[in-house]
Each structure stands twice: as C-alpha cells, then as structure tokens.
Structure 1
C-alpha cells in the first residue's frame, strides 16, 4: 500500500457520523410564564401590557399612539393583526403593510420614516423575555427594525418556557431571517457606554393578549 493509499484509508476510517445530534431538550417550568416574561423583558428596558381580548389590546395600542403622537404606522399582514381594520379603528393615522407596497425600496423608505412598527411574533420566551420573529410573505423584517418604536401583539398561547421548548414543538424549518428580539436595540462602545436605539427601535412594547 502506498503512502497515498494509507492516507485515504485513514481518512475513511476516521470519518465522523453524518447524523445530526438530537437537539437539547429543556425541562424548565415557570409557575407564572407571563409574569416571568414580563420580569425578564422589563429588566432589559422593554415594556409589557396585558390584554384579555383584541379590542382591549387595541385600546392599549391606541393609548400608546396618543402618547407617542403617532401619525404613521407600518404593520405586518399576519395573525392576529390581519383581523384588524386599522384605518377604520384609527382614521387619523396612516397605515401601510408590505402587501400594499410591493416596491421594496419604497417600502424600506416608508418603514424608515414611520413612527411605529407593529408585528406579532412566532413565540414569546418566558425565560429571557424574548420574541421569536420570522420574515416571510406579508411579514417584513423592516417593520420590527426601522421604526423607532416596535409594538408586538402576541396571543398568550404563543408564550412558551424557553427557546429549546419552543424549537422542540416546532420541527419545521424557519426562514434564515428568524431573529430573537430581547428589548430595544442596544449597543456599547469600547468604554462600555450603553446607547439605545442606534441600530434599531429605541422602544419595545409587547402586548400579551388572552
């Protein structure tokens, strides 16, 4: 056997199994997941409101619109937001969704100048106070990234213990642009001086509904 053959034989023998490892499973449990989510998000400068119904949630969102002197809003066409007649509910505010503006550059410019972006979330993680937000048809990442204020209306049934529990229950492949949002955008320089809202929204408000 030549040296070349020996090298190839060694490589074949030492080839690792191609089977992916089983995802780590969590047995974490919180007695009050909503309370834990609220505590965790509040610690990172986020805000949480509770609402029993969509009408209650919209009343709280309307109060936020007033406090923020809101004139323009971008929102995603996703459940449960697609159940709302936004312009009828808030006629004094301009609302736009990605399906209403297929021109990507125009949509980006609109999101960059909007006062508020409204989304839902695939999940709310009690452990860290985080939102799992994915993009796709009718769901633009720019809605949660470009406006200075991000409001998320999340049904209570999407509240789960942690990222591992959620992932185990959702085996389907998610878009590459699936992100975890934990509070407003934060960054720090080399001297550890914290700045909020430099690379994204400076305010995050989550309305847990149900």
Structure 2
C-alpha cells in the first residue's frame, strides 16, 4: 500500500519518504531544514504545529536551528518558508493525505508556508476512501483537510501555476514507529 501511495503522490509532485523510527525522521527534518536555509529572518523560518510526532521528539534538536518556532500565529505561518504538521491518514489509491485540521495551528502550518512537511504514522495508511470511512468518522472533526500534492491551479489557457493557493512543495514523511492515527 505504501508503494501505491508513493507512486500516486509523486505523480502530483509530492515528495515521499519513509522512516522506521521517529529518531530517523527527526534526523531527516534537521538536515532538511538546514538544506532549505531555515533561519530567524522573514521568509526563512519554520513553524511547527503540535501533534504526536512533535510531542514525542527531542525539541532541542529542532530548536537548535535558528528560526524554528513552536508557537504558531497566523502572521508567523504566513511568513514562514517551512511548516511542519502531522496528518492523520493517507489514501493509497489517490495519493491524498487527510488531516483533522480543527486545531488552527495545523491549518495555518499546512496551508500558508512555502513548504509543508507532513508527518504521518505509517499505520494511518488506508487503501482508499471507503476503508478510511470505516475507520474514521468525519463528523468527529470540525475541519477536515484533504491534501493532494502541492497547491496548483491553471487558468483558462491551461497554464499551470504551483503554490498560488498554498504550499509550492509538499514533503510527506511516514514514520513506522509513530503508531496510531491521531
């Protein structure tokens, strides 16, 4: 199922990675943020939404990078280069992420920065929408977001533009040991 998701998501320009442990995922994030030039200046910082992955890691490793903020405001998210949030499920047949974005910090971090890094427990992977609906009750969420690749739009002349209404890059990180779907 993971390989199917990866193929579908990469088909719409998402970047997909898989890690066995949270420590491996954290090491990837630290390197990724450094490579992206995250810094404590406008347009270069990173905002991180609360969630099981973030709550379970050593914040010091991320906080050691200048420009990584754990307190998310609308203004910060709008000026961020990178936003990191946890999503709840992934639909393999269409390469789509599903996020309970009722918490405003998740919504801001996944929609406003230039790059969205979506952390997900591998156990949140479902074959399709039907399987997801047997496990989840959409009525339990105040705001559900379906994320398929980076933001894209096309005008009447079919000129495709990436990143107009949201992140221009989507980086998806599956973590095997994360467990749970929340």
* TM tier, smaller: 0.7 to 0.9
Task: Give the Cα separation in 2 of the matches to 1:140 and 1:154.
Answer: 13
Which moved further from structure 2: 150-159 or 74-83?
74-83
Task: Give the Cα separation in 2 of the matches to 1:184 and 1:53.
Answer: 26
Gaps of 5+ in 1: 1-32, 102-106
Q: What secondary structure sits across from 1:127 in the alignment?
A: coil
Aligned residues: 170
Tell me what 1:130 maps to. 96
Structure number with greater Rg is 1
Q: Say whether the 8 Å CA contact 2:84–2:109 is kept in structure 1.
A: yes
Q: Say whether the 8 Å CA contact 1:135–1:141 is kept in structure 2.
A: yes
Q: How does 1:54-93 map to 2 (within 5 A)?
A: 54-71=22-39, 72-86=45-59, 88-90=60-62, 91-93=64-66
- The 1:180–1:160 alpha-carbon spacing in structure 2 relative to 1, beyond 3 Å, is same
Q: Say whether the 8 Å CA contact 1:73–1:93 is kept in structure 2.
A: no
TM norm structure 2:
0.87
Could you say which structure has the higher strand fraction?
2
Choose the corresponding residue for 1:48, options 6, 13, 16. Answer: 16
Deviations 1:102-137 (A, max 9, x none): xxxxx1110011121001111011111111012234
- The 1:187–1:174 alpha-carbon spacing in structure 2 relative to 1, beyond 3 Å, is farther
Q: How does 1:46-195 map to 2 (within 5 A)?
A: 46-71=14-39, 72-86=45-59, 88-90=60-62, 91-97=64-70, 100=71, 107-137=73-103, 139-171=105-137, 173-195=139-161
Task: Give the Cα separation in 2 of the matches to 1:95 and 1:65.
Answer: 9
Deviations 1:147-190 (A, max 9, x none): 00000111111111112211111236233421110000000000
Q: What secondary structure sits across from 2:52 in the alignment?
A: coil
